[in-house]
Amino acid sequence: MITTELLIERLRLSGHRVTASRRAALEAIAASDDHFSVADVQQRTPAVGRATLFRTIRLLVDLDLLCRVLLEDGSLRYRLSRRPAHHHHLVCTACGDVEDFADCDLAALSKELTRRTAYEIRGHWLEMYGLCPDCRAPAAAK
């Protein structure tokens, strides 16, 4: 489990200052049960400036402490990382549950895209949408 103290330690080890505003944002983020939006954090920390929230969230994403989750409706949410390395998400379209997965073999596709387009591929972001086992169970019982 990621705590406020761990977030603070990782920021400091990366050479970043932890101001009172940033600490308040970190506390609100660490207290989040599931995925959240920037607006959710802003509601819990009205004294913290919007720019500080966005910079702090971006920094935590860059440090792999937070991950972005794009929900099927197009809304962007964040959650504390359960995998500290590159990973992707399975998103339940019924209940909103999010599960991590790490295995994605996109190396061949990246090479082909680089060959065809001359782009230098630096990363990717993959979300898969469907029904989790709990949401599939009621439909299967009918």
Which of 3, 9, 11 lies closest to 56 in space, CA to CA? 11
List % helix, strand, coil for the chain (3-state, nearest 5).
Answer: 45, 15, 40
Question: What are the structural domains of the chain?
Answer: 1-82 (1.10.10.10), 86-142 (3.30.1490.190)
User: CA–CA separation, 68 vs 61, rounded Å?
Assistant: 7
Average pLDDT of span 107-118: 91
pLDDT tens per residue, range 54-103: 999 999 998 989 989 988 888 899 999 876 677 888 999 998 888 888 87
Whether 141 has a pLDDT exceeding 80, the answer reads no
Task: With 0.75 as the threshold, say if the pTM is over it.
Answer: yes
Whether 39 has a pLDDT exceeding 60, the answer reads yes
Q: What are phi and psi of 67, to 5 degrees?
A: -125, 150
Residue 129 has a pLDDT of 93
Query: Are residues 8 and 23 in contact, defined by beta-carbon separation less than 8 angstroms?
Result: yes
Amino acid at 130: G
